């Protein structure tokens, strides 16, 4: 079977070249940086000429919105092109400055449109739409314009608040990063020589000597704990800064403000996280299964956190060649339909020049993302090829973002509607990862490899759903505790972390050093209250995975309809259209638990339990 030969070829000898260098054809956007700069100057002149209309006639309003739409499309091409240039060379400061300027240009367009629509108001807009039906397409642009009104400050005050908030959050985040970099984890002696318990943690976690794994894990925990009071002071400062900012914008607290910006509310987040916590036994069953298997195969009586990363004796994790991944990933996405597979194949085709990839990092940014703009086939940027399973899954994930943009462009989605809440974008990309793991699992050549891929899939599902629910609850509780005066120092956060995490998983009760886990949750310091996004993304992705694998034809119809509309309505309305009805948090969680339980049972069978 051809697929078996592909998968067998993924296990390669160390040192073999795993990826050639590829480059996106930047001239698809602009002939040269000089041409881009010239075009951007002309665009900025046109943006400056876009007025704020006071009382437009319905035909004039429609023409105005289409004009703004065209300006946005032009600007998105500049943003994409400049993003590519800055990613290829982190020292290209001219491109970085231009990228920032292009983002500001887009914001200027949005502000002018917003002010025009606000002046008209919903009553005026609805009246205009009755005589000019084409305006109905822009109704959600109006809804977004008026939604934030209760929380807007006068421009001068808002500018001052933004400046203070940005400077404060940047200073706190920079201090967090410096503290992390300055942490000394110490060395661990192994049969291969001395390794660093911090930077070599992944390698140490797979060492066959249990004493090595334990020492490395405990040294890392202790090193983080040594700086716990510094981290606590930073986190408390972040909470107070965000809470003060939220109050000045007429929100009750920091979580309410952050969730409002991401188009969900605290009551819904709380209900969803609670629904996940009520089913925590599903995660615990999976964790116990993994622990039993490691205990049985490695002859360990009491399995700890430092044992869970130990690979089976004699098993070598597959190494992925990018050329093979180019062939396998599109095939794995067959449940999304033939057109989707054809488009994904074209995205990865070297002759199309839509992939930017390097075998060596050089001066490239260490990141992966899609690049898209109306009128240009989207591209895939991979800073450097990583030959492990996670590196291969990035192609499916980030390629999913690229195909999402391509399908919206193919259906003529307005530039007003081709960007939405990040959790919805992420759900679509995570679905691709899940399908990729499913394909590898079903076509694996032996039981050990099947278990490896199925574990990866379950780790993805449980991390996105359970860990995200756990993190959302913990972060909210930290905010509530700081404001109430109950959270003052590292010991308080440690206790809260242990209390929260023991409600979701088995390991904190076994290894109480995990009370320091909050220190490593980078997003709490970098992008506060973002973690709930992954909860919603994981729930939606897992539900879509079940739909796509159980009834591909029905799913493809729903999926295409969602791509054709873009983000032209509030998230709840988009999901109601997609599912055919509203799903409560408990219903969505329940459906996903069925998937995870089924996968856990399948893993037990592979183990032979």
pLDDT tens-digit readout, 300-335: 999 999 999 999 999 999 999 888 999 999 999 999
Give the three-state DSSP class for 193.
strand
Helix (H) or strand (E) segment spanning residue 190? strand 187-190
- Do residues 460 and 570 lie in contact, with contact meaning Cβ atoms separated by under 8 Å? no
Helix (H) or strand (E) segment spanning residue 220? helix 210-226
What is the rounded average pLDDT of the residues 479-496?
A: 98
Residue 10 has pLDDT above 50, yes or no: no
What's the pLDDT band for 359 if we cut at 50, 70, 90?
A: confident
What's the pLDDT band for 135 if we cut at 50, 70, 90?
A: very high
Gap between the Cα atoms of 533 and 260, Å rounded? 12
- More confident call, 96 vs 12: 96
Predicted confidence (pLDDT) per residue in 245-268, tens digit? 999 999 999 999 999 999 989 999
pLDDT at 3: 41
Residue 515 has pLDDT above 70, yes or no: yes
Mean pLDDT, rounded, of the chain: 95
Burial class (CB in 10 A: 0-12, 13-18, 19+), 419: middle
- Residues of 385-412 as b/e, b for ≥16 C-beta within 10 angstroms? bbbebebbbbbbbbbbbbbbbbbbbeee
Number of H helices, E strands in the chain: 25, 5
- Do residues 381 and 81 lie in contact, with contact meaning Cβ atoms separated by under 8 Å? no
Residue 230 has pLDDT above 90, yes or no: yes
- More confident call, 215 vs 158: 215
Residue 508 has pLDDT above 50, yes or no: yes
- The crossing angle, in degrees rounded to 10, of helices 254-261 and 468-484 is 140
Helix (H) or strand (E) segment spanning residue 187? strand 187-190
Residue recorded with tokens 């009553």:
123
Residue 368 has pLDDT above 90, yes or no: yes
Structure token digits, residue 177: 């990063």
Q: Closest Cα partner for 224 from 412, 497, 560, 443?
A: 497
pLDDT at 8: 44
pLDDT at 500: 98
What is the rounded average pLDDT of the residues 20-45?
A: 96
Q: What does pTM read for this prediction?
A: 0.94
- Do residues 518 and 492 lie in contact, with contact meaning Cβ atoms separated by under 8 Å? no
Q: How many CB atoms are located within 10 Å of the residue 199 CB?
A: 10
Residue 7 has pLDDT above 70, yes or no: no
What's the pLDDT band for 18 if we cut at 50, 70, 90?
A: low
pLDDT at 5: 39
- Do residues 7 and 325 lie in contact, with contact meaning Cβ atoms separated by under 8 Å? no
What is the rounded average pLDDT of the residues 360-383?
A: 93
What is the rounded average pLDDT of the residues 424-436?
A: 98
Residue 609 has pLDDT above 70, yes or no: no
Q: Closest Cα partner for 141 from 327, 417, 457?
A: 417
Gap between the Cα atoms of 336 and 555, Å rounded? 8
What is the rounded average pLDDT of the residues 290-295?
A: 98
DSSP strand E in 295-384: where?
A: 355-357, 368-373, 376-382
Residue 469 has pLDDT above 60, yes or no: yes
What is the rounded average pLDDT of the residues 127-144?
A: 97
Which phi and psi angles does 371 have, rounded to 5°? -125, 125
Structure token digits, residue 334: 């067959």
pLDDT at 358: 87
Residue 19 has pLDDT above 80, yes or no: no
Q: Facing residues of 87 across strands?
A: none
pLDDT at 362: 87
Task: Say which residues have a Cβ less than 8 Å from residue 282's Cβ, sequence separation at least 6.
Answer: 466, 593, 596, 597, 600
Task: Say which residues have a Cβ less than 8 Å from residue 462's Cβ, sequence separation at least 6.
Answer: 283, 286, 596
Residue recorded with tokens 């909860």:
535
Residue 550 has pLDDT above 90, yes or no: yes
Long-range contacts of 59-62 (CB under 8 A, 24+ apart): 59/132, 61/116, 61/120, 61/128, 61/132, 61/135, 62/132, 62/134, 62/135
Task: Say which residues have a Cβ less than 8 Å from residue 422's Cβ, sequence separation at least 6.
Answer: 262, 533, 537
- Do residues 380 and 399 lie in contact, with contact meaning Cβ atoms separated by under 8 Å? yes
Residue 155 has pLDDT above 90, yes or no: no
What's the pLDDT band for 459 if we cut at 50, 70, 90?
A: very high
Residue 448 has pLDDT above 60, yes or no: yes
Out of 1.10.10, 1.20.140, 2.60.40, 3.10.20, the CATH code matching 31-152 is 1.20.140
Residue recorded with tokens 């991390």:
463
Which phi and psi angles does 359 have, rounded to 5°? -75, -30
Residue 402: HSE in the Cβ half-sphere, 13 Å Cα cutoff: 29
Quick one: three-class SS letters along 109-120?
A: HHHHHHHHHHHH
What is the rounded average pLDDT of the residues 95-124?
A: 96
Residue recorded with tokens 């939606």:
540
Residue 422 has pLDDT above 90, yes or no: yes
- The crossing angle, in degrees rounded to 10, of helices 389-410 and 552-565 is 60
pLDDT at 300: 97
């Amino acid at each position: 079977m051809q697929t078996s030969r592909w998968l067998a070829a993924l296990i390669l000898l160390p040192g073999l070249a795993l990826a050639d260098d590829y480059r996106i054809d930047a001239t698809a956007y602009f002939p040269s940086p000089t041409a881009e700069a010239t075009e951007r100057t002309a665009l900025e002149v046109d943006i400056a000429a876009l007025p704020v209309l006071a009382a437009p006639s319905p035909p004039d309003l429609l023409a105005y919105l289409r004009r703004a739409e065209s300006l946005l499309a032009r600007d998105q091409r500049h943003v994409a092109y400049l993003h590519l240039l800055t990613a290829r060379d982190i020292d290209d400061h001219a491109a970085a400055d231009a990228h920032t300027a292009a983002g500001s240009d887009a914001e200027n367009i949005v502000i002018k449109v917003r002010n025009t629509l606000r002046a008209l108001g919903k009553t005026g807009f609805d009246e205009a739409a009755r005589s000019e039906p084409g305006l109905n397409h822009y109704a959600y642009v109006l809804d977004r314009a008026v939604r934030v009104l209760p929380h807007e400050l006068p421009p001068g005050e808002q500018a001052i608040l933004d400046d203070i908030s940005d400077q404060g959050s940047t200073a706190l985040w920079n201090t967090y990063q410096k503290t992390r970099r300055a942490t000394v984890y110490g060395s661990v002696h192994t049969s291969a020589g001395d390794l660093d318990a911090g930077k070599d943690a992944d390698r140490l976690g797979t060492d066959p000597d249990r004493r090595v794994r334990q020492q490395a894990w405990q040294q890392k925990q202790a090193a983080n704990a040594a700086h716990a009071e510094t981290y606590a002071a930073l986190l408390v400062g972040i909470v107070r800064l965000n809470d003060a900012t939220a109050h000045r914008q007429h929100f009750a607290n920091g979580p309410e403000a952050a969730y409002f910006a991401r188009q969900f509310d605290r009551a819904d987040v709380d209900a969803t996280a609670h629904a996940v916590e009520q089913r925590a036994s599903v995660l615990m069953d999976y964790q116990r299964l993994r622990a039993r298997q490691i205990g049985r195969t490695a002859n360990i009586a009491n399995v700890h956190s430092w044992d869970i990363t130990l690979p089976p004796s004699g098993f070598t994790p597959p190494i992925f060649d990018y050329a093979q991944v180019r062939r396998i990933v599109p095939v794995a996405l067959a449940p999304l339909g033939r057109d989707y597979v054809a488009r994904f194949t074209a995205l990865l085709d070297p002759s199309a020049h839509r992939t930017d990839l390097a075998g060596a990092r050089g001066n490239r940014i260490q990141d992966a993302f899609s690049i898209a703009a109306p009128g240009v086939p989207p591209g895939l940027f991979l800073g450097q090829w990583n030959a492990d399973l996670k590196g291969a899954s990035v192609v499916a994930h980030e390629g999913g973002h690229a195909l999402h943009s391509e399908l919206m462009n193919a259906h003529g989605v307005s530039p007003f509607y081709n960007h939405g809440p990040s959790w919805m974008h992420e759900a679509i990309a995570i679905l691709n990862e899940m399908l990729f793991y499913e394909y590898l699992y079903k076509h694996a050549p032996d039981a050990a490899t099947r278990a490896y891929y199925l574990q990866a899939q379950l780790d993805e599902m449980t991390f996105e759903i359970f860990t995200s629910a756990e993190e959302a609850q913990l972060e909210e509780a930290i905010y509530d505790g700081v404001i109430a005066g109950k959270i003052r120092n590292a010991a308080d956060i440690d206790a809260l972390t242990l209390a929260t995490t023991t409600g979701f998983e088995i390991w904190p009760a076994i290894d109480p050093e995990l009370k320091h886990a909050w220190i490593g949750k980078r997003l709490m310091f970098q992008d506060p209250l973002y973690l709930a996004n992954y909860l919603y993304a994981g729930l939606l992705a897992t539900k879509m995975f079940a739909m796509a694998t159980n009834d591909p034809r029905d799913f493809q119809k729903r999926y295409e309809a969602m791509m054709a509309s873009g983000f032209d309505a509030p998230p709840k309305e988009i999901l109601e259209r997609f599912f055919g009805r509203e799903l409560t948090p408990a219903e969505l969680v329940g459906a996903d638990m069925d998937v995870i339980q089924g996968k856990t049972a399948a893993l037990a069978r592979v183990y032979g339990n």
